[in-house]
């Protein structure tokens, strides 16, 4: 389990905007480790975990984009039924809320999960060893 900085960028929900953002990130040799996009009618919220968060923040300061930073947990978990249920239940029993979660199967029997708990400090001991 790793604590990562996740950067959320508000983008206009229009063709090419996400592509442009990703091109800018790639041009700075910043690798996207995880990404999630949540859309609404006019705006999209792009959440990214990258290998160089400080470099991405510096790049975004030069753009007319709104960005924020949050700490999230990156978990490596088995890719099998019930794993996310177990994680959510353990956190819930300790009164830790999951604000949002996203992830993917890695193809090697593992899943990569990005999780935003209400408290990193309370969530880490609960999830240690999972």
pLDDT above 80: residue 94:
yes
Q: pLDDT for 17-58, tens place per residue? A: 999 999 999 999 999 999 999 988 789 999 999 999 999 999
Q: Does one domain contain both 117 and 60? A: no
Residues 41 and 18 in one domain: yes
Q: Are residues 76 and 62 in the same domain?
A: no
Tokens representing 99 are 């604000």
User: Which residues span the domain enclosing 120?
Assistant: 72-127
Widest distance between CA atoms in the chain: 44
For the chain, the domain total comes to 2
Query: Residues 84-106, buried b or exposed e (16+ Cβ, 10 A)?
Result: beebeeebeeeebeeeebbbeee
Question: Looking at residue 80, which CATH number applies to its domain?
Answer: 3.30.2130.10
Of the residues 45, 70, 95, the one at which a domain ends: 70
Token reading at 68: 């924020």
Confidence (pTM): 0.89
């Amino acid at each position: 389990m790793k604590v990562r900085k996740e950067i959320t960028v508000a983008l206009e929900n229009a063709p090419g905007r996400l592509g442009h953002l990703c091109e800018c990130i790639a041009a700075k040799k910043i690798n996207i480790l995880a990404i999630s996009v949540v859309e609404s009618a006019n705006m999209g919220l792009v959440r990214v975990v990258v290998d160089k968060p400080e470099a991405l923040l510096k790049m975004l300061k030069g753009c007319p984009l709104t960005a924020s930073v949050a700490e999230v947990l990156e978990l490596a978990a088995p890719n099998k039924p019930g794993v996310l249920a177990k994680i959510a239940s353990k956190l819930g029993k300790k009164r830790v809320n999951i604000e949002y979660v996203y992830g993917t199967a890695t193809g090697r029997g593992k899943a990569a999960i990005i999780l935003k708990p209400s408290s990193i400090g309370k969530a880490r001991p609960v999830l240690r060893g999972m």
